């Protein structure tokens, strides 16, 4: 409920919105009725017209520690004033090494090396390239095939959309990378509907990898990449035992396993990484988003010791991996990352997410009685709520819900087609869970 002190003065909005071609946005619909935010603090956004909206999606799976964290802002400001930029090729700066060590400490054993980049998409492309180069080092250069999964999302680089499995992200962009295959998605509504956490049904979807190996030959396959919880497609938690099985099969065939933890990293599933929740150590973990609490772009790849060490051979003056970005390990991002990890540790936010998971799941499941709700899935502090499409076609009801939630119900949600996605900051209180569920219910009724 808004109280007067929550309402901020409205901020001026430019009259002309046409120049900015917005990413992954229905531009014309947006510009007719803009959803404009102008400020954020803790669990809330402030709209440009001065309203206070509860943030049910941590920005975009980013601000796990909530908004406007002063220590992060101070660290960024200090870095901007003392070391605005440092070239990452052939030079370094202390905070990059410190941050890499701190990330390695959070990662599973034997994963002690971090390659930095600036986004999840770059992290994915980096991991795929490391996998290909690794097999070359091992004189197994025939291992070039990459395996993704249907409904997977791995960002928007050509590597990421090639292994990704969301049709709209692929179909307009030509032939993509060649030599890519896909595992089936792990979702079967008939067998899994309204599951809390990992569904009992579906570990066998991992066995499809054996079929793919039989089809192509293990000697042609470099890596398998999956999200431990498929987020962007509408929240599909891994079935029980699925990831372990994938690990066994990849290991058996000498195939590298990459977990794309751009969403699941840094506490979303109640652990530093989903790898820990599932007790499975992959060969690489990609991350982004939560590492800086969304405050500065940063991504990266955590690499298993064996993979990293195998690159560290040959003459010492020669570059071991011909890959990197001008802004890899940017000083402002490293400063933000260190301040963010301090907050996660000091406020025990991963543990907090774990403790809140059952309450969140139960509260969100209460929405199953609302009109048109076809399924709800929850895992960690994340939920996907499928609404049946309306007569306007797939995605129309979802879009109407997005607009209604923002303009009429003071809540920021995400939608994937007709699925509403909730993935709030990990600082959320029980009362705020209640508020989010109530506002989501109102939104669902508004588009019935
Ligand atoms: C699993 C996963 N991988 C990669 C990405 C791409 O990240 P970015 O948008 O930072 O490039 C995302 C973004 O949501 C993601 O969810």
Please report the pLDDT score of residue 25 as a whole number.
98
pLDDT tens for 5-26 read 566 778 888 889 999 999 999 9
> What is the value of pTM for the model shown?
0.97
Does position 349 have pLDDT exceeding 60, yes or no? Answer: yes
Using an 8 Å Cβ cutoff, are 439 and 402 in contact? no
Q: Which part of the chain is CATH 3.90.1150.10? A: 4-65+348-446
Q: Are 191 and 113 in contact (CB under 8 A)?
A: no
Q: Using one digit for the tens of pLDDT, what is the confidence trace for 55-72?
A: 999 999 999 999 999 999
Angle, vertex CA 368, rays to CA 366 and CA 369, nearest 5: 90
Q: Are strands 419-422 and 382-387 parallel, antiparallel or unpaired?
A: antiparallel
36-42 contacts, C-beta under 8 A, 24 or more apart: 37/412, 38/8, 38/10, 38/11, 39/8, 39/11, 40/67, 40/68, 41/66, 41/67, 41/68, 42/66, 42/67, 42/68, 42/425, 42/427
**pLDDT confidence of residue 13:** 85
Distance 156 CA to ligand 1 centre (A): 8
pLDDT band with cut points at 50, 70 and 90 for residue 2: very low
Dihedral sign for Cα atoms in the order 208, 211, 216, 217: positive
Residue owning the nearest CA to atom 8 of ligand 1 = 120
Per-residue pLDDT, 394: 97
Question: What pLDDT is recorded for position 6?
Answer: 61
Whether the per-residue pLDDT at 1 is higher than 50: the answer is no
- Give the pLDDT confidence of 390-424 residue by residue, as tens digits: 999 999 999 999 999 999 999 999 999 999 999 99
pLDDT single digits (tens) 296-318: 999 999 999 999 999 999 999 99
With a 6 Å cutoff on the Cβ, whether 262 touches ligand 1 is yes
- Confidence bin at 155 (pLDDT 50/70/90): very high
Residues of the chain with CATH 3.40.640.10: 72-346
pLDDT at 436: 98
Per residue, the 3-state secondary structure of the chain, as one string, reads: CCCHHHCCCCCCCCCCCCCCCCCCCCHHHHHHCCCCEEEEEECEEEECCCCEEEECCHHHHCCCCCECCHHHHHHHHHHHHHCCCCCCCCCCCHHHHHHHHHHHHHCCCCCCEEEEECCHHHHHHHHHHHHHHHHHHCCCCCCCEEEEECCCCCCCCHHHHHHCCCHHHHCCCCCCCCCEEEECCCCCHHHHCCCECCCCCCHHHHHHHHHHHHHHCHHHEEEEEECCEECCCCCEECCCCHHHHHHHHHHHCCCEEEEECCCCCCCCCCCCCHHHHHCCCCCEEEECHHHHCCCCCCEEEEECHHHHHHHCCCCCCCCCCCCCCCCCCCHHHHHHHHHHHHHHHHCCHHHHHHHHHHHHHHHHHHHHHCCCEEEEEEECCEEEEEECCECCECCHHHHHHHHHHHHHCCEECEEECCEEEECCCCCCCHHHHHHHHHHHHHHHHHCC
Q: Is residue 124 lining ligand 1, measured as CB closer than 6 Å?
A: yes
125 CB near ligand 1 (under 6 Å): no
232 phi/psi in degrees, rounded to 5: -65, -25
154 within ligand 1 shell (Cβ under 6 A): yes
Percent of the chain with pLDDT over 90: 97
Structure confidence at residue 292 (pLDDT)? 99
| Predicted confidence (pLDDT) per residue in 88-130, tens digit | 999 999 999 999 999 999 999 999 999 999 999 999 999 999 9
Contact assessment for residue 382 and residue 235, using Cβ atoms and an 8 Å cutoff: yes
Mean pLDDT (whole number) for 431-437:
98
Tokens 């543990």 sit at which residue?
Answer: 351
What are 267-282's pLDDT values in tens digits? 999 999 999 999 999 9
137-150 average pLDDT score: 97
Domain 72-346: assigned CATH number: 3.40.640.10
CA of 2 to the centre of ligand 1 (A): 33
CA–CA separation, 422 and 418 (whole Å): 13
pLDDT of residue 10: 83
In short, whether 153's Cβ falls inside 6 Å of ligand 1 is yes
CA of 291 to the centre of ligand 1 (A): 13
* Any ligand 1 atom below 6 A from CB of 300: no
Question: Would you place residue 3 in the very low, low, confident or very high pLDDT band (cuts 50, 70, 90)?
Answer: very low
pLDDT of residue 9: 75
Q: What is the architecture, at CATH level 2, of domain 4-65+348-446?
A: Alpha-Beta Complex (3.90)
- Mean pLDDT to the nearest integer, 349-358: 98
Sheet containing 284-287, strands listed edge to edge, beginning at the edge strand earlier in sequence? 113-117, 299-303, 284-287, 256-260, 221-226, 145-149, 180-183
Instruction: Name the pLDDT band for 4 (thresholds 50, 70, 90).
Output: very low
416 lines ligand 1 (CB under 6 A): no
Each residue's pLDDT tens digit, 188-200 = 999 999 999 999 9
Q: What confidence tens digit (pLDDT) does each residue in 361-376 have?
A: 999 999 999 999 999 9
Compute the average pLDDT of residues 236-253. 98
**What's residue 191's pLDDT?**
98
């Amino acid at each position: 409920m808004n109280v007067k002190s929550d309402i901020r003065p409205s901020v001026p909005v430019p009259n002309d919105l046409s120049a900015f071609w917005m990413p992954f946005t229905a531009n014309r619909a947006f510009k007719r009725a803009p959803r404009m935010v102008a400020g954020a603090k803790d669990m809330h956004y402030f709209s440009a017209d001065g309203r206070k909206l509860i943030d049910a999606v941590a920005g975009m799976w980013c601000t796990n520690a909530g908004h406007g964290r002063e220590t992060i802002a101070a660290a960024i400001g200090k870095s901007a004033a003392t070391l605005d930029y440092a070239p990452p090729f052939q030079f370094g700066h202390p905070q990059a090494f410190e941050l890499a060590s701190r990330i390695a400490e959070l990662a599973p054993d034997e994963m002690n090396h971090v390659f930095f980049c600036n986004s999840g998409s770059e992290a994915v492309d980096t991991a795929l390239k490391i996998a290909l180069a690794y097999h070359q080092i091992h004189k197994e250069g025939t291992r070039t095939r990459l395996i993704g999964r249907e409904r997977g999302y791995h960002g928007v680089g050509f590597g990421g959309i090639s292994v990704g499995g969301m049709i709209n992200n692929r179909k307009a962009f030509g032939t993509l990378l060649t030599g890519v295959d896909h595992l089936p998605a792990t979702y079967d509504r008939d067998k899994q509907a309204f599951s809390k956490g990992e569904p009992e049904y579906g570990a066998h979807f991992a066995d499809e990898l054996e079929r793919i190996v039989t089809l192509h030959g293990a000697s042609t396959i470099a890596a398998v990449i999956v999200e431990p919880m498929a987020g962007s497609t509408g929240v599909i938690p891994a079935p029980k035992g699925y990831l372990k099985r994938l690990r066994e099969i990849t290991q058996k065939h000498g195939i590298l396993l990459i977990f794309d933890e751009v969403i699941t990293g840094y506490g979303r599933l109640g652990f530093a990484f989903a790898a820990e929740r599932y007790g499975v150590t992959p060969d690489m973990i990609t991350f982004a988003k939560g590492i800086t609490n969304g405050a500065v772009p940063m991504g990266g790849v955590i690499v298993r010791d064996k993979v990293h060490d195998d690159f560290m051979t040959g003459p010492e003056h020669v570059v071991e991996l011909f890959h990197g970005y001008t802004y890899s390990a940017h000083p402002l991002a490293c400063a933000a990352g260190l301040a963010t990890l301090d907050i996660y540790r000091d406020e025990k936010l991963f543990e907090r997410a774990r403790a809140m998971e059952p309450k969140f799941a139960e509260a969100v499941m209460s929405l199953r009685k609302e009109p048109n709700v076809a399924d709800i899935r929850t895992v960690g502090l994340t939920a996907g709520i499928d609404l049946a499409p309306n007569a306007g076609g797939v995605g129309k009801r979802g879009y109407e819900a997005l607009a209604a939630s923002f303009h009429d119900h003071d809540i920021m949600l995400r939608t994937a087609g007709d699925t509403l996605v909730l993935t709030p900051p990990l600082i959320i209180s029980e009362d705020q869970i209640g508020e989010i569920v109530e506002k989501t219910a109102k939104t669902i009724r508004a588009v019935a």
